Amino acid sequence: MNSKCDKYQKMIPDFFEDELEEGDLSEFLDHIASCKTCRDELSFQYLLYDGLSMLESGASFDLEKEVNNETGAARKRLIRRQRAVLVAAALEIITLATALVTGYVYITRMLL
Ligand SMILES: [Zn+2]
């Protein structure tokens, strides 16, 4: 296991609790998508985290599907969060632009 994998595998519990920061979550998902070792570790920890109770309940259980659902949902949450940041930035730019225009109009009136 290389040290990069070590780093991501330590993030797995936080991933399940949805406590990773946006940047970390993005890196984490990219790494999981491309690294079988970490995907296996994620599956294993998922089994410990959530799977055992599902097995006990007797529900049919497809581990790979469950893990894919989990990472897919996290990816969607991430995209939604990034969009919210973009919208906030856009609103800020609009506010700034409005302030500039207002200031410009004000100064122009003073000069005329
Ligand atoms: Zn890895």
For the chain (length 112 residues), average pLDDT per consecutive 10?
Answer: 87 93 94 95 86 72 86 92 86 90 88 80
Q: How far is the CA of 60 from the centre of ligand 1 (A)?
A: 28
How is residue 20 written in tokens? 């990773």
pLDDT value of position 57: 77
Q: How far is the CA of 56 from the centre of ligand 1 (A)?
A: 30
Q: How far is the CA of 98 from the centre of ligand 1 (A)?
A: 47
pTM score above 0.85: no
Give CA 103 to chain center in angstroms.
39
Q: How far is the CA of 23 from the centre of ligand 1 (A)?
A: 17
pLDDT value of position 49: 77
Length of the chain: 112
pLDDT value of position 28: 96
Q: How far is the CA of 20 from the centre of ligand 1 (A)?
A: 17
Q: How far is the CA of 39 from the centre of ligand 1 (A)?
A: 7
Tokens 């990219």 -> residue: 30
Closest CA to 62 of 74, 73, 72, 54: 54
